[in-house]
Structure 1
Amino acid sequence: MKRFFCDKCGKCCEKLPALVIDPGLDDGTGKCKFYDSQTNLCTIYDQRPDICNVDKMYSAFASLMSYEEYIDMNYYFCTKLKEV
């Protein structure tokens, strides 16, 4: 089974306005309030919201696409965030 492997670049956490993410996560600068820019890691990773968990969010897309298509879509948007 295909899996999503995060390279921990932090772009998804640094560019919340580019994503449809809970506005309650924004620290006011467009970055996630739980993002540590020194390590590029989430300070609440084990308790992170479902929206930040690729595997947990698949249930919202399962009726629209296969898991493999969903993973490919996540990689696509991950690549696009790195270009912004």
Structure 2
Amino acid sequence: MLARTFPCNKCGICCQKVHLAPETRFLDRGDGTCRHYDATSKGCNIYTQRPDICRVDRQYELIYSQRYSWDEFVAVNVEICLNLQTGDLIKV
């Protein structure tokens, strides 16, 4: 299987909004931000061991590959990412 990559711009906004989704709330350090988020690097302190919910490619394989093509799945995730960046939050 070919490796799939998500066009992440590494802004860190998704890591600062983990309280918004039931699937990621367990990562909340109490202020909506992931307990593994490093504000200085805008990255993850446990990136290579991060949970499956934080891996776009893994979520696609586990849950969404029967419903969407990879390109469709990326498009939905990019839209959500842009909404998080602009503060235009939507209910998914």
44, 52, 55: which one aligns with 1:53: 55
Give the C-alpha shift of residue 22 in structure 1.
2.9
Give the C-alpha shift of residue 21 in structure 1.
2.8
8, 14, 38: which one aligns with 2:40: 38
Residue 63 of structure 1 pairs with residue 66 of structure 2: yes
Match of 1:23 in 2: 25
Give the C-alpha shift of residue 19 in structure 1.
3.0
Match of 2:83 in 1: 80
Give the C-alpha shift of residue 17 in structure 1.
2.2
* Letter of the structure 2 residue corresponding to residue 17 of structure 1: H
Task: Tell me the TM-score normalised to structure 2 length.
Answer: 0.83
- Residues 58-82 of structure 1 show CA distances to partners (whole Å, capped at 9, x for unaligned) of 0201121111100111111000000
User: Which of 1 and 2 has higher RCO (CA within 8 Å, sep 6+)?
Assistant: 1
Task: Tell me the TM-score normalised to structure 1 length.
Answer: 0.90
CA distance in 2, matches of 1:9, 1:22: 18
Root-mean-square deviation over aligned CA pairs? 1.6
Give the C-alpha shift of residue 24 in structure 1.
1.9
Count residues with an aligned counterpart: 84
